Amino acid sequence: MKVSEKKQAATVGEPPSTYEELIRVIHDRYTDFSKSYQKISLYITQNPNDIAVDSVHVLAEKCGVHASGCVRFAQSLGYKGFKDLQAIFRHRLSTAALGFNARVRALEDELDTCEDRTEMGFLQDLIGRDISSLQELLANIGPEQIVQAVDLMEQADTIYLIGQLRSAPVVELLRYTLTMLGKRTVLLDSAGGLATHMAKAIRNSDLLFAVSFRFYASEVVNIMEEIAARGAPVVAISDSTLSPLGRSASVLFCVPEHEYTFSRSLAAPMCLTQALVVALASRLQNNPSKPRIPVATQK
């Protein structure tokens, strides 16, 4: 056992008795966890339904740690072993919706693509996973989050956008739709190394909209923390409530990501950003039933 894990095990109190309490404890202690414990924390917060049915060996393989590490993780939280921690997730599963992997398996069975490894099979597999991601998005996002985010977008003098690497297409779509909607929008482009300097112009009457997934772009995280410390509101889309973006966000949309054969999908975050802009359009146009976003080629 590593020294940091021994120290964590030595400070154990009563184990959390509910799923909500367990998640709070994990969030509170996450930054003090060892790297292996953080891997386990990320996986179980993103895949709670799977924890209820996976064996400790399957969980360890998915997290990239040894099975004994999962047992010690459970013990560091006050449980006698992994099965006691798993019982919390099994109780939750009795009232929860299907998890991502269960949705994927159901769609594979429905589409009969489980063993199809042809070119068409890859397309069907990706579409099935995208459908599952969108279903999970609908289950995970609360109406109060949507309302709060749209309130901030409506009130902002200028909406600043930042997203790098794989997140770049999401903020590019936001820049286009918000600009066509007539909202003053600035993209903090990483080209030329100016994003950090451009962010210094953000005022408390503005809004920063940030998007970042594993492995979180350091410039995005640093700019978010600086802007939030200055008191400006931040709306963020990320892949976990344990994401570093969660520490600074006024509103955090958690869009859990799941391993793909080749890459991870942007279907869910793209859909979410479009929903936010459509909701904003309904307010700005005073037309809640049929909001429209003009297009560049419209006459």
- Which pLDDT does position 3 carry in this prediction? 47
* Distance (Å) of CA 144 to CA 20, 24, 77, 205, 250: 19, 20, 31, 21, 13
pLDDT for res 29: 92
Question: How far is 248 from 226, CA to CA, in rounded Å?
Answer: 9
Q: What is the pLDDT of residues 220-232, one digit of tens each?
A: 999 999 999 999 9
pLDDT, tens digit, for every residue of 2-28? 545 554 544 456 899 998 899 889 988
| Residues 199-247: tens digit of each pLDDT | 999 999 999 999 998 778 899 999 999 999 999 999 999 988 888 888 8
The answer on pLDDT for 173 being more than 90 is: yes
Phi then psi for residue 163, to 5 deg, are -170, 130
pLDDT surpassing 60 at residue 98: no
- Tell the residue number behind the tokens 């410390």, with chain if given: 229
How far apart CA 245 and CA 59 sit, in angstroms, is 25
Q: What's the pTM? A: 0.74
Do 190 and 219 contact (CB within 8 A), yes or no?
Answer: yes
Q: Please give, one letter per residue, the 3-state secondary structure of 65-119.
A: CCHHHHHHHHHHCCCCCHHHHHHHHHHHHCCCCCCHHHHHHHHHHHHCCCCCCCH
Condensed to tens digits (0 to 9), the pLDDT of residues 255-277 reads 876 655 556 788 999 999 999 99
Question: Interhelix angle for 119-140 vs 267-284, to 10°?
Answer: 50
Would you say residue 114 has pLDDT above 60? no
Confidence of residue 293 (pLDDT cuts 50, 70, 90): confident
